[in-house]
Amino acid sequence: MTFRAPLQSLDLALAAAGLPDLIAAGYPDLDPETVSAVLDSAAAFAEAELAPLNRDGDRIGARFENGVVTGAPGFAQAYKAFAAQGWNSLAADPEFGGQGLPKVLELAVFEMVHAANMAFGLCPMLTQGAIEALTLHGTERQKRIVLPRLVSGEWTGTMNLTEPQAGTDLAAVTARAEPDGEGGYRITGQKIYITWGDHDAAENICHLVLARLPDAPPGVKGISLFLAPKRLIDDEGRLGAANALRPASIEHKLGIHGSPTCVMLFEGARAELVGEANNGLAHMFVMMNAARLQVGVQGVAIAERALQQALAYAQDRVQGRPALGGEAIFGHPDVRRSLGLMRAKVEAARAICLLTGVLADQARFAPDDAARELARGRQELLTPIAKAWSTDIGVEVASMGVQVHGGMGFIEETGAAQHYRDARIAPIYEGTNGVQAVDLAGRKLSMMGGALMPDLCAEMAADAAALAGEPGLEGVGRRLAAGVAALSAATTWMQQNRGADALAGATAFLRLSGDVIGGWMLARQAVLARTRAPALADSRAALARLFADQVLAQAPGVAEGVMAGGADLAALDAAALAG
Amino acid sequence: MTFRAPLQSLDLALAAAGLPDLIAAGYPDLDPETVSAVLDSAAAFAEAELAPLNRDGDRIGARFENGVVTGAPGFAQAYKAFAAQGWNSLAADPEFGGQGLPKVLELAVFEMVHAANMAFGLCPMLTQGAIEALTLHGTERQKRIVLPRLVSGEWTGTMNLTEPQAGTDLAAVTARAEPDGEGGYRITGQKIYITWGDHDAAENICHLVLARLPDAPPGVKGISLFLAPKRLIDDEGRLGAANALRPASIEHKLGIHGSPTCVMLFEGARAELVGEANNGLAHMFVMMNAARLQVGVQGVAIAERALQQALAYAQDRVQGRPALGGEAIFGHPDVRRSLGLMRAKVEAARAICLLTGVLADQARFAPDDAARELARGRQELLTPIAKAWSTDIGVEVASMGVQVHGGMGFIEETGAAQHYRDARIAPIYEGTNGVQAVDLAGRKLSMMGGALMPDLCAEMAADAAALAGEPGLEGVGRRLAAGVAALSAATTWMQQNRGADALAGATAFLRLSGDVIGGWMLARQAVLARTRAPALADSRAALARLFADQVLAQAPGVAEGVMAGGADLAALDAAALAG
């Protein structure tokens, strides 16, 4: 088996993130057995149906010939099974055919999907974005006809945002939408990097497209959101003629070859408005928070997969005389330390992502307004960290996984290299990690009177102090306290300094945030394991210590980097950087 | 132009590494104009002849069909031009046709070669290893017939060490060498990962092969070094029949596609002994020091190339409203900071590699025994750092280069992804970076009574104190002093702790060493620039500060990780790491 779903880790991580409280507050009918059953079934599907397709997905990939996209071998069939078994609709509203389960549970399921086959997982992930947009902003017709078919997985969805000149800066979008005089619109323009923009896995594709109305103001306040289906849809949901849109090509990418990344041409394509005119960017950002968290989960997933493969190799490969015993390189302290750090980082990233997922649910289901507001605020704070820190971990752990393999890691047939290639997209899409850092350092540190990060630091500091009473975790408590103090100081500095200084420190600040919050969650898991999973208690304490010594210990130094300011950046002009 | 040789940086780095003193002591006839002329000509060749082949080298690569290796497009012709222009023989002994220039100058030339086309550069790099081995250990016949043809580049060389079960652990080599009764040997066995093991760029290939004699003792003391040519060579150097050896296949690799990595089969191939019987590993290690330093230079090279491409893209790509002015993303502080850190790390790694190169020359040409001994010791100390730290930087900077490109970075046609793929081999081959770390923490910290690192720390501490008198570098001095103190403490700890504890800290110790030594060299370059390259003075000071704030500041924390010990590693057994 090439992938084994990390059910033990997921159980502990979900518990440490607060799933039990969430269920008590918002899902009174959901019992722990159902949660376990969902995770177990998803694990079985991911392991047996999706993981085996991952290699050919990379090797052969999706193809584009004569204007038609053909999916990677087995992907279309696997997608139909995925939808038929209901994996597409776990958290969707039962009103539209969903199962109404917590989003965090769906997130845990999708982690397994992405780990088994990241290129495949992108298809339902994008559909979820469309479901979210139509649930919040769809017309009656869209909710009645389109939404249930997206929820069932009968149709899939895409997000058409980027244009060649408009990536991070969506204000530069130029695609046009002209009223057709019958209440609809005709869209004309080119969109790039459209994930699963065309494929043969479902009979229709619902493109959510950003475009400008003729009378729209310039900039971000003149962008509207439209729904343009691949095939036209009548009022009973029956499919009609092909719409005037098509894939012009698919990209030749470093990784995720099984995911067709399309250049899409809209040539007067019929479309419906979604939500309010000129408010499309705000509607899109609602979806984007969820998508960003999902991408963070992809970072966790690919790191988990890379770690599993490296661990298996290390236990198998015999070389030298290992100081920790045994014959395999797993007994070499340097190899063991690499694998331990990989595991610690995976668990820290998983913990951050699932905590953010629980907060997203709590923002809807917490018992009172204040709790919901607090959860929403913290969700906003953690989303860029979950996205960027976890995807950086994804790349780092995938690279460490190659390294553990030695020369075999560089041979494509081994598979370790695929993870290294696949992982590299996650820090880029759904807002580059630099954009996440700027979002964290700017908007998120300012929200709610600037209290979000200080409040979190206060909570972490209290937990750090309490670790003094946990045998074997006292040292983790001291390192965590120092890390929280460094994060607090850096937070104050970021809030007092604006402009280029703060922007220059943003990426280091995000790293610092993830390091400290990750270390905090590992300590929390280690404490929880003592009651919830005693078999894991010792190793979870060891992971928390390893992370504290090898990562948290650097937090004060990283904070100094945050607070160094950006005065030198101007001196580093193009001539200076040219070598 | 896709690559511009970094001549300004190389000039400053060579000066800071001590080239002028080296020339004064060991190369009285070499004037600065000649040095410049060599670098300028190499730059022109690398830019015009090698860089343009890099893309197709990746895209098409070397091929293997019907037992024959065909080089990537243009590589064979470029190799012939490379040899004809004398680039193969800069540092070789004039007795054998070489030009007798300092090795560090050759290293600077090869940095440009690797940056222009890393896959190409591997061919002459391996030949250099063979030249080194035969110069030191060759028979009269080998020196008379083979060596001059390797020096001229008419023939190329390879290193045949690895077997499927014998990678890091060469004690496990099983290839057999049987005496043929005529003073020669017949080699039988399989070797893997043989770089440029077969090709069409030269008319003969001299394989240096590790194998066991029939009466050899087991383990590392029973391995001998042999020379097995692709085509047999008579006593006048004329080529005869094909030898009984052949490539069985070439590997399908993550990167360096233009370099054919062969599985080699020796089927009773005729061979000559090189050096003493059963002492082959020692002979091989002589070559390996040079090869490890060259691989470190590859890390610098690929990082330089990746940085140049990212810088060009950042100056071209317009997006958003940059806080530092201009329209291109180069004006976004987060992007500028990335590029600045990339430049600082490239220069730090270059400085460490060239310093190690100067030490290698001084070990031969310093005026007295004591100075030569000191230089040799410090060369030994720095070699694993130059190899591992620089190649980790290579991967890191190549990854940052992809990131600066945003979505374009993930598209293969952009070229940034190739650097990310190519860079990944360098931490693996010529001894994995884990092996380098163990070598540093074990053998190198013990050599010369354990004084090598403490002596270096004392020198760096004195320089740190002197920075108090350099306006604008006072803060760098303080950070450097703290970093040196952390490195000193970690060194003492490593020397007092052995076994699994020290081995567990080895990789962090190597990183710490590189961070501190790199920061020291950047400060030295910044001071030197004030007199030698005033136009660079401000930007070099800014780079030294950036590195001090963003890297050196973490040294105390990294040192804590080094000294954390390995007690927890045993708790992290396979079950614990399985998730």
Q: Which of A404, A409, A259, A305 is nearest to A1 (CA)?
A: A305
Nearest to B201 by CA among B81, B291, B85: B81
| Separation in Å, CA of B156 to nearest CA in chain A | 23
Closest CB to B167 among A319, A507, A538: A319
Per-residue pLDDT of chain A (579 residues; tens, 9 = 90+): 689 999 999 999 999 999 999 999 989 999 999 999 999 999 999 999 999 999 999 999 999 999 999 999 999 999 999 999 999 989 999 999 999 999 999 999 999 999 999 999 999 999 999 999 999 999 999 999 999 999 999 999 999 999 999 998 999 999 999 999 999 999 999 999 999 999 999 999 999 999 999 999 999 999 999 999 999 999 999 999 999 999 999 999 999 999 999 999 999 999 999 999 999 999 988 788 889 999 999 999 999 999 999 999 999 999 999 999 999 999 999 999 999 999 999 999 999 999 999 999 999 988 899 999 999 999 999 999 999 999 999 999 999 999 999 999 999 999 999 999 999 999 999 999 999 999 999 999 999 999 999 999 999 999 999 999 999 999 999 999 999 999 999 999 999 998 889 999 999 999 999 999 999 999 999 999 999 999 999 999 999 999 999 999 999 999 999 999 999 998 899 999 998
Written as one letter, the residue type at B9 is S
Q: What is the pLDDT of residue A1?
A: 63
**A524: which 2 tokens?**
């929390």
State chain B's mean pLDDT as an integer.
96
Among candidates A561, A527, A557, which has minimal Cα distance to A545?
A: A527
Summarised one tens digit per residue, pLDDT across range B215-233 is 999 999 999 999 999 999 9
Alpha-helical runs (H) found in A18-102: 19-26, 32-45, 54-59, 75-84
DSSP A460: H
Q: pLDDT value at position A422? A: 98
Q: What pLDDT score does B1 carry?
A: 63
Q: What is the DSSP letter of B253?
A: B
Give the one of B334, B437, B577 whose C-beta lies nearest to A434's C-beta. Answer: B334
B295 to chain A, minimum CA–CA distance in Å?
15
Contact status, residue B228 vs residue B242, Cβ threshold 8 Å: no
Q: Which residues contact A310 (CB under 8 A, 6 or more apart)?
A: A338, A339, A342, A400, A401, A404, A405, A416
Res. B429: pLDDT tops 80: yes
CB atoms within 10 A of CB B32: 12
SS3 B217: coil
B533: pLDDT strictly greater than 80: yes
Q: What fold does the segment set A1-431 form as a domain? A: Butyryl-CoA Dehydrogenase, subunit A; domain 3 (1.20.140)
B160 backbone dihedrals φ, ψ, rounded to 5°: -105, 90
pLDDT of res. A358: 98
Angstroms from B93 CA to nearest CA on chain A: 32
pLDDT by residue (tens digit) across B254-311? 999 999 999 999 999 999 999 999 999 999 887 888 899 999 999 999 999 999 999 9
Which pair of structure tokens corresponds to residue A125? 């992930």
3-state secondary structure of B323: coil
| Closest-CA residue of chain A to B558 | A554
Q: Which residues of A touch B320 (CB under 8 A)?
A: 168-169
User: Hunting for tokens 């330390």 — which residue is that?
Assistant: A337
Integer-rounded Cα Rg, in Å, for chain B is: 24
Is B577 close to A432, i.e. CB distance below 8 A?
no
Angle at Cα B149 formed by Cα B148 and Cα B150, nearest 5°? 90
Q: CB-CB: which of B167, B549, B575 is closest to A564?
A: B549
Which one of A106, A203, A430, A474 is the catalytic residue? A430
Sign of CA dihedral B134, B140, B142, B146: positive
Q: Is A396 a catalytic residue?
A: no
pLDDT computed for residue A495 by the predictor: 97
| CA neighbor of A160 nearest in space, from A296, A293, A284, A289 | A284
Contacts of B556 in chain A (CB under 8 A): 556-557
The Cβ of residue B573 has, within 10 Å, a number of other Cβ atoms equal to 15
Q: Which one-letter DSSP state was computed for residue A175?
A: -
The pLDDT of residue B113 is above 80: yes
With CA atoms as reference, the chain B residue closest to A6 would be B579
Q: Give the chain B residue whose CA is nearest to the CA of A553.
A: B557
CA–CA distances in Å: residue A495 to residues A447, A451, B370:
11, 10, 57
User: Min CA distance, B500 vs chain A (Å)?
Assistant: 6
Put simply, the answer to whether B410 touches A433 (Cβ < 8 Å) is no
Contacts of B571 in chain A (CB under 8 A): 538-539, 541-542
Cβ of A578 and B4 within 8 Å?
yes
pLDDT of residue A334: 97
Comparing CA positions, the residue from B530, B559, B526, B531 lying closest to residue B545 is B526
